[in-house]
Amino acid sequence: MSCRKRKRLTLAQKIEIIKFVEAENVGIRAVAEKFKIGKTQVSDILKNKLYLSQTSMEQGSEKSKRKFPKSNGEIIDTVIFQWYLHARANNLPISGPLLKEKALELASEVGLNDFKASNGWLQKFKDRHQISYKNTYADPALVKECVIIEWLNSVKETIKDYKECDIYNCDETGLFYRILPENTMNFINEACIDGNLSKERLTIMLCTNIDGEFEKPLIIGKVRKYNCFKNINIDNLEIVWKSNTKAWMTRRIMTDWLLDFDHRMTQSKRNIVLFLDNASSHPLLNNLQSIKLIFFPPYISSCCQPLKLGVIQNFKMFYRQCVLKHQLSFINNGPGLINKINVLHAILWIKCSIDEVKKSTVRNSFVKSGILNTGENQSEDNLATDEYKALVNRLVGDDSINYVGIDDKLLTENQSLDLIKIMQDIVGPQISDEDEDDTEDDTEDDTSNLLNEDIVLNNLGQISESVSRIRNKNLNLEIISTFAECKKVMLDRGKVFLKKLTDARNKVAKITLPFFVDGTNILTHSKSRVVLEAMKLAVNSQKRFHVFISESSPDKSGIEMYNCLKALDIPCTLILDSAVGYIMERVDMVMVGAECVVESGGIINKIGSCTMAICAKEFKKPFYVLTESYKFSRMYPLNQKDLPNNFKYTGNNSNDDNLLNAHPLVDYTHPSYISLLFTDLGILMPSAVSDELIKLYL
């Protein structure tokens, strides 16, 4: 059997093979036959298509062969160009003689005495990297007067044929993901380049279009896999996770992301515009198929980049709100809360915070930037919500230290002008994502388990614990010879389970008690045993409050709740379901139970709960859910139609072919409408439900 000699291919030929496979969607055998190469060679090319595409774009021509460093002169060229990018990011004026001087300085440092920084070298350097001389503006006001309008006019001409949904902006921001208000004074204006504080940071890149449709957030940490990622597939978290020792954005990470984004847009047959700031970590890729890159000129980014004009601030406000709610849930657990917050919490809160950013906020930011011209009236965004202010006032007292923007000056890339450090980063030992240490050697993360693991295992596993005990006593069950003995065992088990339910309700009532303030007006819906128990404890603790109860059609369970409250001598008023909007302005909070808490943190409860929650959010009233943890479920409904019929309808109706005329008994309330959940595990925010279930099931 003869062995086919491996054919040597140029980079251009490999790119041609990759494009052929993507366009024709054919198998490896067909590709091998067409290009007369081996199947193994085709497989190797397809496995490395991302790297080959990146190499081709960096060279600027697919006709050229792959180039390897041939001399130390190329190292000097690469380092000096990176230094030039850092200097430009710091708005420093750069001249030809300065570049030649820096090149000679670097050559001297590394012992390349034969290197000559001639005029010919300088001209070739400028040609290779497309560098030209332009005027610089030291005064931002001068830039605003002379440059911004002209630049915006040229941009509008460029993007005039693009739809609004195809105009994107992306930008990075640093985030102290663990920082609490009482720790803030240690972080103000901290550059966080190295040391202990750098362990507390992440870099997040957000990308959105004018319609407010966000791409998966790109999150950069210090290591590839933290301890809290154990048994978790990061790809399932709907993020792009990258890592390096500084948690910074790099040209390599950005190039990979751009290539992947371009591939997805090509697959979707979309052509888009992407606005980027002029950061040294943002490469100019000329051969992207579906993305046109537009870079903000120096000094313009701060006043013309949409994400910097409210979106990032809005996102951080929602993230800090998540941290404050988490703090509130552990307020009785003593010190050490900061160690309870890990990177997995941060990822979940980042996703939740992005979902909270309104589409109108994103659109307004594009209008403020001047990129989008509309005749519509621009509404003002209330970035500091009433809920956030209430949390800050309760836990801190005031926000004079700007808790939301405490990390606004955090560096997101390497801006060092030290030639030796730049060279070490480029030609020194580079640790890739695959080569990095698997876990973080950090004692803080070793102790930062997901929320209350012991409580989760003891309470969320109540039912499975009872089943396990029965299984472990199979030998005892085998000797039960009479029905009476079997009945006794089942009754004993039922009493144990009933006691746990009672204990759970009592615990919920106790942690809810501080929220019953004298003179409070509370709105509730339907009849909930745990809500009733909480109100009973409150009135026994000499709390004075008034309750409004909706009648809760169709079964009128609210009337039953009204009678129970009357029997306890609690002042209460029965209202029509249709009067919820009318009465909402008079109440201070809404307090309901739940039949089920789903994985997203939303609830399934008596029909009308969703309407009440939406109304509460519009009136800026907190919507509290009181529930036992055994009601947590791995269901993940996206809308009302996702609820199973056996949840929504009675047994008589659920088998009907046509349910259009049937009245549903329950509805789904989205977690964005829920302020807090009071459970026997503690006070949780909706996103924490996923934490509990992750630890329980994975």
Residue-level pLDDT at 261: 92
Residue-level pLDDT at 119: 78
**CATH code for the domain in which residue 290 is found:** 3.30.420
Domain membership of residue 83 as a residue range? 72-138
Residue-level pLDDT at 611: 92
Rounded distance between C-alpha atoms, residue 529 and residue 534, angstroms = 9
Residue-level pLDDT at 658: 57
What does the angle CA 673 – CA 676 – CA 681 come to, to the nearest 5 degrees? 140
**CATH code for the domain in which residue 668 is found:** 3.40.50.10470
Amino acid sitting at position 189: N
Indicate whether 458 belongs to any domain: no
Residues 543 and 678 in one domain: yes
Residue-level pLDDT at 485: 77
Q: Which helix (H) or strand (E) holds 242?
A: strand 240-243
What is the percent of the chain with per-residue pLDDT over 90, rounded to a whole number? 22
Residues 289 and 191 in one domain: yes
Q: Name the least confident of 117-121, 462-466, 478-482.
A: 462-466
**Mean pLDDT of the 312-341 span:** 71
Q: Which helix (H) or strand (E) holds 683?
A: strand 682-684
496 contact partners, CB below 8 Å, separation of at least 6:
466
Q: Give the predicted TM-score (pTM) of the model.
A: 0.53
Indicate whether 559 belongs to any domain: yes
Tell whether the model's pLDDT for residue 600 goes beyond 90: no
Residues 299 and 323 in one domain: yes
Q: At what angle do helices 483-512 and 529-540 cross, to 10 degrees?
A: 50
Tell whether the model's pLDDT for residue 524 goes beyond 60: yes
Residues 158 and 204 in one domain: yes
- Mean residue pLDDT of the chain comes to 76
Task: Give the HSE-up count for residue 435: Cα atoms under 13 Å, Cβ half-sphere.
Answer: 6
Tokens (6 digits) for 74: 């190329």
Rounded distance between C-alpha atoms, residue 497 and residue 405, angstroms = 48
Residues 122 and 232 in one domain: no
Residues 258 and 130 in one domain: no
Residues 188 and 337 in one domain: yes
Residues 112 and 33 in one domain: no
Indicate whether 322 belongs to any domain: yes
Domain boundary among 105, 138, 171: 138
Can you tell me which residue has the tokens 């560098």?
131
Residue-level pLDDT at 291: 92
Phi and psi torsions of 658, nearest 5°:
-115, 110
Indicate whether 618 belongs to any domain: yes
Rounded distance between C-alpha atoms, residue 320 and residue 318, angstroms = 6
Residues 112 and 198 in one domain: no
Residue-level pLDDT at 616: 93
Tell whether the model's pLDDT for residue 220 goes beyond 90: yes
Which of 240, 284, 285, 246 minimizes the C-alpha distance to 430? Answer: 246
Residue-level pLDDT at 100: 78
Residue-level pLDDT at 283: 82
Rounded distance between C-alpha atoms, residue 528 and residue 550, angstroms = 12
Q: Name the least confident of 122-126, 330-334, 412-416, 616-620.
A: 330-334
281 contact partners, CB below 8 Å, separation of at least 6:
248, 249, 250, 251, 253, 254, 412, 413, 414
**413-454 confidence digits (pLDDT tens):** 776 666 666 665 555 434 334 344 445 544 344 333 333 333
**Mean pLDDT of the 345-362 span:** 89
Three-state SS at 667: strand
Indicate whether 307 belongs to any domain: yes
Confidence of residue 251 (pLDDT cuts 50, 70, 90): confident
Tokens (6 digits) for 633: 């479920």
**CATH code for the domain in which residue 85 is found:** 1.10.10.60
Which has the higher per-residue pLDDT, 133 or 597?
597
Residue-level pLDDT at 94: 72
Indicate whether 174 belongs to any domain: yes
Indicate whether 516 belongs to any domain: yes
What's the structural domain count of the chain?
4
Residues 248 and 354 in one domain: yes
**Mean pLDDT of the 10-38 span:** 84
Confidence of residue 547 (pLDDT cuts 50, 70, 90): very high
**Mean pLDDT of the 223-229 span:** 83
**Mean pLDDT of the 28-36 span:** 86
Indicate whether 402 belongs to any domain: no
Residues 117 and 233 in one domain: no
- Highest mean pLDDT of the ranges 29-43, 257-271, 451-465: 257-271
With 0-12 / 13-18 / 19 or more C-beta atoms within 10 angstroms meaning exposed / middle / buried, residue 93 is: exposed
Rounded distance between C-alpha atoms, residue 643 and residue 664, angstroms = 10
Q: Is the dihedral of CA 15, 20, 26, 31 positive or negative?
A: negative
Amino acid sitting at position 573: T
**125-148 confidence digits (pLDDT tens):** 777 766 765 555 544 455 555 667
Residue-level pLDDT at 554: 85
What is the percent of the chain with per-residue pLDDT over 70, rounded to a whole number? 70
40 contact partners, CB below 8 Å, separation of at least 6:
none
Residues 172 and 117 in one domain: no
Residue-level pLDDT at 127: 74
Residue-level pLDDT at 442: 43
**631-672 confidence digits (pLDDT tens):** 888 777 877 887 877 767 665 554 555 556 677 888 999 988
